Chains A and B, each alone.
Chain A
């Protein structure tokens, strides 16, 4: 089973803040049967204590996630935001970053998706690719690009 799925990629998502987008993606993962009902709350709490904004160039990314125990099947859900929302910087809690792309990670096993993570990080470093993705409004097109990078 591939980790990226067509039905878990969303473009032009309108969210006012990080909590809203976390709710949006967590609900999608829950409805797709990937995570249990406590996943969303756990991600929100984790984000408060250990923020996940990555200062990675012109198109910063956030990777909200939580403990593996809330996950039923590994998946990632991706949202391209209509307008950037603030996430706190992973390395400096008191700094915030305007995030344009949110990649919610639902990992079933600790340390198991190494390969996928590496590819994801590599993709984040390709700012040209991120710029391209962030301007697309067709979910399928985004899926084609992302799945080629990751799966």
Chain B
């Protein structure tokens, strides 16, 4: 079970939209929902929560060397521009099947 954290500025609006899009895209690729779990937070909480997750996807700019898990930019999940690249990264990085 891989855990993915979706984070945005407030942890309310854009991460919700991004999370649903991610779910939809992973479903479309036939990846079982038993393979992963999604969580949501503000970017301010990412560092504290990173130990409990395998990957973080942020819709805002986020640079933090203290984070040991992969962090990818999730804005395409909102804009739909380049969304396949994001899904490819998630699937490859976490080896989802």
B70 is an interface residue with CB less than 8 A from chain A: no
B11-34 to A contact mask, C-beta < 8 Å, 1/0? 111101100110000000000000
Q: Taking each of B16, B20, B21, B40, which has the highest tally of chain A beta carbons within 10 Å of its own beta carbon? A: B16
Report the contact-size class of chain A (Cβ under 8 Å from the partner).
Answer: 20 to 34
Chain B residue numbers with a CB within 8 Å of A65 are 10, 12-13
B78 near A67 with CB under 8 A, answer: no
A91 near B17 with CB under 8 A, answer: no
A149 is an interface residue with CB less than 8 A from chain B: no
B59 near A117 with CB under 8 A, answer: no
A49 near B16 with CB under 8 A, answer: no
Which DSSP category, helix, strand, loop or mixed, fits chain A's interface? loop
Chain A residue numbers with a CB within 8 Å of B13 are 63, 65, 105, 107, 117
Of the listed stretches A50-58, A78-86, A130-138, chain B binds: A50-58
Chain B residue numbers with a CB within 8 Å of A41 are none
Q: Which of B10, B11, B16, B80 contacts A117 (CB 8 A)?
A: B16
Query: Bound state CA distance, A110 and B75, in angstroms?
Result: 19
